[in-house]
Amino acid sequence: MTDLEGVRPKRYAWKYWPPVLLWGLWVLLALSGGAFAQQPLQRGEVLTLLARGSAKGSDKAPVTIIEFSDFQCTFCWRFWKQTLPHLEEEYIKPGKVRFVYRHLAILGPQSVAAAQASECAAEQGKFWEYHDTLFASKGSFSLADRRLKQYARDLKLESKAFDRCLDDGEYAEKVEGETGIGILMGANGTPTFFINGTMLVGAHPFQTFKKIIEEELKTTP
Give yes or no for residue 52 having a pLDDT over 70.
yes
pLDDT at residue 35, rounded to an integer: 45
pLDDT at residue 37, rounded to an integer: 44
The residue among 202, 77, 204, 78 whose CA lies nearest residue 134 is 77
**Contact yes or no for 203/209 (Cβ under 8 A):** no
Number of domains in the chain: 1
Q: What is the pTM of this model?
A: 0.81
Give yes or no for residue 4 having a pLDDT over 60.
no
**Contact yes or no for 83/97 (Cβ under 8 A):** no
Phi, psi (rounded to 5 degrees) for 45: -70, -35
Q: What is the domain-level CATH number for residue 28? A: 3.40.30.10
Domain interval for residue 59: 4-219
pLDDT at residue 172, rounded to an integer: 93
The three-state secondary structure class of 12 is coil
Query: CA distances (Å), 21 to each of 8, 41, 61, 100, in order?
Result: 9, 14, 30, 21
> Which whole number is the average pLDDT over 17-31?
51
| Spatial separation of the C-alpha atoms in residues 163 and 118, rounded to whole Å | 12
Of 44-48, 107-111, 183-187, 200-204, least confident by mean pLDDT is 44-48
Please state the separation of Cα 178 from the chain's center in Å.
7
